[in-house]
């Protein structure tokens, strides 16, 4: 099983390599790919050394699967070339997510849609992944009408440059800025660029991707996405309006039985999800589960997940695992 990792030296690409190793993914040959300036450099994986190669050389090597985390422009240019060579691409960028001909997959939610013919598969936005894991089982039981979500997103979602900026600011060091403003001791209510309707691209990704993954265009979603100076994961305050009433104990039982979700909801002992405790874990954590007392059939909850793992690398690897088990054996 030859596996290519495109963008192998970036934050998510590095995490993909880590997750592949941790999950004992059946890699017989790793093909690491990065920018031209990195070609020829050596990386380590499973106690072996591998030279970084170019896109062309990766295609010529004919891997079964290519995990892409190299940005939207790179994916738009190169993913079709990999696919034409018979290589299945699992792409972490936003390039293909809303393409009607491409699957947008969270394995616990909609892996059943995948077929052997799907050669470019989109990994959803990190914030969307953790939210739909919680929404899906509740939608099946109570039917969701509307979702209001505010996110509290880690600097790791921007990349190495943003992490460096935050750490430099904490040490009083002047350096390159990933953001327009300081991020340490600050909150920036903008993730990605603004669109014509006043929302950012990140916010509109959550709106559109949620509908596509849950296969229900009737669900109304509105989002506010905010960058905060944390590591370890993204957090979300989510307000969910249902068609049908619910029992809080039933909600917790449903979520406890949902693969990939862990309920942390013990306020008497101050137990609730936090990035600090979600860091380096693959689960999505949900807590602060309570009824919205201002209107009927409405629930409030707090969702946290490691954005580099379940929000990116782990979700992509899980898609690959599903394909091997069901379509690429």
DSSP β-bridge partners for residue 216: none
DSSP string, 189-217: ---S-B-TTS-BHHHHHHHHHHHHHHT-T
In this structure, what DSSP letter does residue 89 have? E
For 54, left (φ over 0), alpha (ψ -120 to 50), or beta? beta
Our answer to whether residue 327 is catalytic in this structure is no
Catalytic residue among 112, 126, 139, 225: 126
Report yes or no: 66 and 87 within 8 Å, Cβ to Cβ: yes
Report yes or no: 227 and 155 within 8 Å, Cβ to Cβ: yes
Q: Would you state the structure tokens that stand for residue 277, as one six-digit string?
A: 């405790």
DSSP β-bridge partners for residue 224: 150
Our answer to whether residue 139 is catalytic in this structure is no
Question: CA-based angle 184:205:25, to the nearest 5?
Answer: 85
Strands (DSSP E) found in the chain: 2-6, 29-33, 42-45, 48-51, 65-68, 88-91, 103-104, 120-122, 144-153, 220-227, 234-242, 261-263, 284-291, 298-305
Max Cα–Cα distance, the chain, nearest Å:
61
Catalytic residue among 139, 145, 225, 234: 234
> How crowded is residue 324: how many other Cβ atoms within 10 Å of its Cβ?
16
Catalytic residues: 126, 234
């Amino acid at each position: 099983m030859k596996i290519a990792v495109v963008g192998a030296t970036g934050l998510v690409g590095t995490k993909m390599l880590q997750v592949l190793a941790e999950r004992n993914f059946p890699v017989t040959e790793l093909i690491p790919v990065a920018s031209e300036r990195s070609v020829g450099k050596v990386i380590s994986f499973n106690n072996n050394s591998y030279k970084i190669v170019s896109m062309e050389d990766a295609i010529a090597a004919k891997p079964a699967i290519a995990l892409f985390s190299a940005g939207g422009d790179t994916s738009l240019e190169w993913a079709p070339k990999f696919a034409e060579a018979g290589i299945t691409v699992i792409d972490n960028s936003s390039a293909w997510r809303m393409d009607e001909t491409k699957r947008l997959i969270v394995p616990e939610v909609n892996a059943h849609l995948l077929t052997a013919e799907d050669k470019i598969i989109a990994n959803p936005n990190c914030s969307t992944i953790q939210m739909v894991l919680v929404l899906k089982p509740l939608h099946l039981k109570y039917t969701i009408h509307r979702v209001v979500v505010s996110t509290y997103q880690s600097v790791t979602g921007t990349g190495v440059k943003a992490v460096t900026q935050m750490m430099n600011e904490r040490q009083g060091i002047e350096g390159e800025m990933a953001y327009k403003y300081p991020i340490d001791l600050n909150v920036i209510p903008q993730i990605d660029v603004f669109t014509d309707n006043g929302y950012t691209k990140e916010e509109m990704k959550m709106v559109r991707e949620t509908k596509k993954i849950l296969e229900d265009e009737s669900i109304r979603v509105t989002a506010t996405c905010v960058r905060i100076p944390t590591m370890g994961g993204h957090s979300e305050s989510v307000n969910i309006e249902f068609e049908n009433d619910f029992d809080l104990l039933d909600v917790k039982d449903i979520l406890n039985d949902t693969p990939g979700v862990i309920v942390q909801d013990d306020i008497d002992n101050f137990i609730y999800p936090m990035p600090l405790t979600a860091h380096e874990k693959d689960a999505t954590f949900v807590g602060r589960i309570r009824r919205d007392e201002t209107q009927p059939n409405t629930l409030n909850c707090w969702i946290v997940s490691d954005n580099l793992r379940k929000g990116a690398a782990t979700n992509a690897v899980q898609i690959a695992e599903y394909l091997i088990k069901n379509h690429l054996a």
